[in-house]
Amino acid sequence: MTIDALGAILLIPAISAALLAILPGYLLTAKLNVVAALATFLTSLSLFVIEPTSGQYLLLDDLNKVFIVLTTFVGFTTSVFSASYIHHEIETGRLTPAFLRFYHAMYQTLMFAMNLALVANNIGLMWVAVEVATLTTVLMVGIYRTHEALEAAWKYFILGSVGIALALFGTILVYMAARPAVGEGPDGMVWTVLVQHAAAFDPALLNVAFVFLLLGYGTKVGLAPLHAWLPDAHAEGPTPISAVLSGLLLNVALYALLRFKMMLAVNSAAIAPGPLMVTMGLISVIFAALMLYRRRDIKRMFAYSSIEHMGIIVFAFGMGGPLANFAGLLHMTMHSLTKSAIFFAVGHIAQVKGTQKIADIGGLTVTNPVLGWGLMLGVIAIVGLPPLGIFMSEFLVVSSTFSRAPWLTAILVLGIIIALGGLFLRIGAVMFGEPKGKTAPAEASYVPMFTHLALVAMAGIYLPPVLVTGFTNVAKLLG
């Protein structure tokens, strides 16, 4: 039953991608995309009532349950937003019907690749899945076929390939470190086998492997200074893909990194991964916070916000311990929901105003009050103001750090405050300035945006006991 459920999480998007590649007509393909995403999400929920069982290739535990449900839920809500958003893009001529089958087929292929990375028990298979997700998003970033979109896709391809190559080298080194203890063959790539024998691995090889893995998967996470692909990819790709990139794909790479961190923690002679993750996390927070002040494109601005928040999440997991790990999981969940909601709002703005340039957008709360106040709520959430969910997660990160390393707390809080100032400075004129640009109605649905924001608002006030228990168990598992 468990294997069937895990298989369904992979088969539903895989079969849907094949169907979407051959079926004509926008309405049919858009509906099938939504139905497939909903079916995958409902299947992921069934994993909570099924006894988890791992095989040689598929793994189910408390850690990937969190990632799978979050990924499939945001994948579903984004498909709902995408259905009407892409229709508008076709009507305005930005996309042609010839690219329609490609877009929806690639969307489900991306969902398949991300799900495969999350459930893979084989570290080589996990690497392949992340590579497939990378190549798929490269193609989708360049779908508009403009000079800027193709340049962004090319940069993403080059930097993503460098990062994934480093991750491959790190994966090979892990296999080499495991060979004396596990032996040659498939068992040397099975994560559950590796983590059981990791204490006997060569610590020197493990150390070098983790450095390569941190650089490789850190590129996909968007950590500075490995982030250069991310702002361009967000700015030039379709908005639903920006939401998936920021809300989901960055988490998948983070998940891969956490798996290897757990392995190193078993080997007492290996390097402690925490300080490396803390350092890269803080660098990302400070760098991205400062860069917010110079952004002129609204999607690019929120892309740097994603870099900042992934820095906070990596910092929390680097600090480790039950409270910091709990805070990291909560922050990851809140960021995925909030940032995808913000990109939904930005997609509406691009359709309403016909531009992404901040200087050409103004007075949204006057011209489009529902959209304007929706985006404002998203910004209030993402900067960590109470009583919304990100305030709770950032408070827990800061609290857990203050008791162990007060000077790190000062750097972290400084970065958060700088980012808050940068976002409010840039977004103020967009919300409350003199009305500018067109005032066309938004064509895409507001429901996904406000659904995400409602969940984030609720999380700041009340966390369901089942969620707290689940996150607590995962936090203990991460060490």
Q: Tell me the three-class secondary structure of 403-464, residue by residue.
A: CCCHHHHHHHHHHHHHHHHHHHHHHHHHHHCCCECCCCCCCCCCHHHHHHHHHHHHHHHCCC
The tokens for 154 are: 């090319």
CA–CA gap between residue 160 and residue 49 (Å, rounded): 37
The tokens for 463 are: 């966390």
Residue pair 430/360 in contact by the 8 Å Cβ criterion: no
The tokens for 182 are: 């596990």
Question: Nearest to residue 121, comparing CAs of 23, 196, 181?
Answer: 196
Residue pair 354/88 in contact by the 8 Å Cβ criterion: no
pLDDT at 34: 92
Residue pair 392/403 in contact by the 8 Å Cβ criterion: no
Cβ neighbours of residue 450 under 8 Å, at least 6 residues apart?
341, 374
Amino acid at 203: P
Cβ neighbours of residue 204 under 8 Å, at least 6 residues apart?
none
Per-chain mean pLDDT for the chain: 87
pLDDT at 370: 85
Cβ neighbours of residue 407 under 8 Å, at least 6 residues apart?
none
Instruction: Return the H-helix or E-strand segment holding 204.
Output: helix 203-221
CA–CA gap between residue 239 and residue 107 (Å, rounded): 13
Beta bridge partners of 120: 58
Residue pair 331/338 in contact by the 8 Å Cβ criterion: no
Say which residue, 282 or 438, is predicted with more confidence.
282
Of the pLDDT bands very low, low, confident and very high (cuts 50, 70, 90), residue 442 is low
Residue pair 465/472 in contact by the 8 Å Cβ criterion: no
Over residues 105-116, the mean pLDDT reads: 93
pLDDT of 443 above 70: no
Of the pLDDT bands very low, low, confident and very high (cuts 50, 70, 90), residue 2 is very low
| SS3 call for 110 | helix
Burial of 196 (0-12, 13-18, 19+ CB in 10 A): middle
Which of 112-121, 240-249, 298-307 shows the lowest per-residue confidence on average (mean pLDDT)? 240-249
CA–CA gap between residue 391 and residue 395 (Å, rounded): 6
Cβ neighbours of residue 66 under 8 Å, at least 6 residues apart?
329, 333, 470, 471, 474
Amino acid at 165: A
Please provide the size of the chain in residues.
479
Buried b (16+ CB within 10 A) or exposed e, 443-457: bbbeebbbbbbebbb
Helix then strand then coil, in percent of the chain rounded to 5, is 80, 0, 15
**Residue-wise pLDDT tens digits, 200-238:** 888 889 999 999 999 999 998 888 888 888 888 888 888
pLDDT at 444: 64
Which of 87-91, 258-262, 331-335, 451-455 shows the lowest per-residue confidence on average (mean pLDDT)? 87-91
Residue pair 60/119 in contact by the 8 Å Cβ criterion: yes
Work out whether the CA dihedral 221, 75, 299, 450 comes out positive or negative: negative
CA–CA gap between residue 270 and residue 380 (Å, rounded): 41
Beta bridge partners of 436: 362
pLDDT at 1: 39
pLDDT of 411 above 80: yes
Q: Give the other-Cβ count within 10 Å of 357's Cβ.
A: 12
